[in-house]
Structure formats: structure tokens, C-alpha cells
Structure 1
Amino acid sequence: MTTHKHNSKFKTLTAWVLQSLLALSLAYGGVMKLTIPIDQLAQMWPWVVQVPTIVVWGTAILDLLGAIGIVLPSLLCIKPQISRWAAFGILLLMLSAIVFHLVRGEATVIGFNIFMIVLTLILLRLWKS
């Protein structure tokens, strides 16, 4: 009985750590894309000068929505299944980013996207069990 209770607490803690990492990463990227001038962003992410600014802002909004959606519903215990849907949205966003970079011949920059996918898949697996 105590092993099951301990295991459940570990899963819950692990899920919250993963949710927090995902949310912080997405929020950081989203805020950067919205607040740092494009020419400065281009020093870190050269692709931003090669797409319309609305695309950069659009991805920023999606990042912020993912950050909010992965944490807030679970935290407030208001329709926590929304956090699962946000996780699927994050998967789609990261897969889209991978395709975007691969089409442009930028395979060397997809590591972060793959890392985010792995974290999200682990989180979804924890929620399933």
C-alpha cells in the first residue's frame, strides 16, 4: 500500500517538474519573440529575419498558450484534461518547427524541438498511468 502511495507521489512530482520545464521554456521563448527586436533575435535565431514578422509573433503566441495550457488547468483543478490537449498542441508545434527547419536545411537546430517532444511524451505517459 505504501509503495503504491509513494509511486503515485513520485509520478505527480515528476509530472509537475515536466510541466514546469515545458511551461518555462515555452514562456521564455514566447516572451523573447514578442519583446526583443527582430534584428537582435536574428543573432540567436537567424530564421526570424527570413519569415514575416507575423510568423514570429504567431509562434510566440502559440508558445505562450502552450505554457499557460500545460500548467494552469491542472494547477487550478479546472478541467485538467485541457492540460493534456495543450500537451498535444505542444507536440504539434514542435513537430511543425522540426519540419520548418528540415525544409530549410537547418537540421542542426532541431535538438531543442526533439527535447521538448521527449519531455511532452514522458508527461503524457505519466498522465496515462
Structure 2
Amino acid sequence: MNIAYWIVAGLLAIFYAYAGTLKVIRSRDQLRPMMAWVDHIPLPAVRALGTVEILGATGLILPPLTGIALFVAPTAAIGFVLLQIGAITVHLMGGDRRIALNAGLTVTAAATVWLATRL
């Protein structure tokens, strides 16, 4: 289970670290081509969301790596499940039916929760 956790959590952490960094450093115009929803959300909220994603990615990796505060890893993964439920809601309310990535991330985060409880 340990190897499975590192593969799934590692991929999830890479994705969220990348996406979060983009949200923190790029302008609204630079984000718009890949994230059409940024026009409906205040920019400080987008920046805060990016920061939460970076912190969550860190929470998936550092606690199991150091052996300190292991409860943080499943908590971060649960946070990503909730984040994606919110993202799916925002997409659907905005009339955007392209939620396959969000659904995949939800399933991956849920699998990470399960694997993290077995560390």
C-alpha cells in the first residue's frame, strides 16, 4: 500500500502544486484560456485557492515523508475531495459541462484518502 500511496499522492501533489502555483502567480488574462471560471471569482479568491492547493499538496507529501503528524495526509486528501466537489458545482452552475478532469481528481483524491489511512 505504501508504494501505491506514493504514486497516487505524488501525482496528485504534482498536479495541485502546479495548478496552485499558476493561480498564485498568473494574471486573470493568463489564466482565462485554461480556467474560464476565473472571470466569475474575485482574483483574491483565486489566489487564496491557489495557496490552499499548494498547502494541500505539501500536506500529502511532507507528513508521510517525515513521519510527523501523519493525520495531515488524509486530511489534505479529504480537502481535495471537497475542493473538487465545489469545483464541479461551480462548473455546472456556470453552464460548463466539462467536468471530467474534476471527476477524475475527485476519485483520485478519494483513493488517496483510503491509501493514507493505511500508512
TM above 0.5, yes or no, is yes
CA contact (8 A) 1:39 1:49 kept: no
Classify 1:50/1:127 alpha carbon distance in 2 versus 1 (closer, same or farther; 3 Å). Answer: closer
Q: Give the direction of change, closer, same or farther, for the CA distance of 1:76–1:121 in structure 2 (3 Å limit).
A: same
Letter in 1 for 2:105: M
Q: Which amino acid aligns with 1:75?
A: L
Give the CA deviation at 1:128: 4.1
Give yes or no for the alignment of 1:28 onto 2:18. Answer: yes
Alignment root-mean-square deviation, CA: 1.3
Deviation at 1:123?
2.1
Q: Normalised by the size of structure 2, how large is the TM-score?
A: 0.91
Query: Is 1:96 the counterpart of 2:86 in the alignment?
Result: yes
Q: CA deviation at 1:117?
A: 1.1
Which runs of no fewer than 5 residues in structure 2 stay unpaired?
none
What is the Cα deviation at residue 116 of structure 1? 1.1
The answer to whether the 8 A contact 2:20-2:53 is kept is: yes
Question: Is 1:116 matched up with 2:105?
Answer: yes
Kept in 1: contact 2:73–2:116 (CA 8 A): no
Summarize the alignment of residues 57-72 of structure 1 with structure 2, pairs less than 5 Å apart: 57-72=47-62
2:89 alignment partner AA: V
Q: Residue 64 of structure 2: which of 44, 62, 74 is its match?
A: 74
State the alpha-carbon separation in 2 of the partners of residues 72 and 126 from structure 1.
Answer: 15
Aligned amino acid, residue 51 of structure 1: I
Over 6 Å off, 4+ runs = none
Q: Percent identity?
A: 32
**Larger Rg, first or second structure (1 or 2):** 1
User: Normalized per residue, which structure has more helix?
Assistant: 1
Offset of 1:122 from its aligned partner?
1.6
Query: How many angstroms apart in 2 are the aligned matches of 1:124 and 1:53?
Result: 30
The equivalent residue for 2:37 is 47
CA distance in 2, matches of 1:121, 1:112: 14
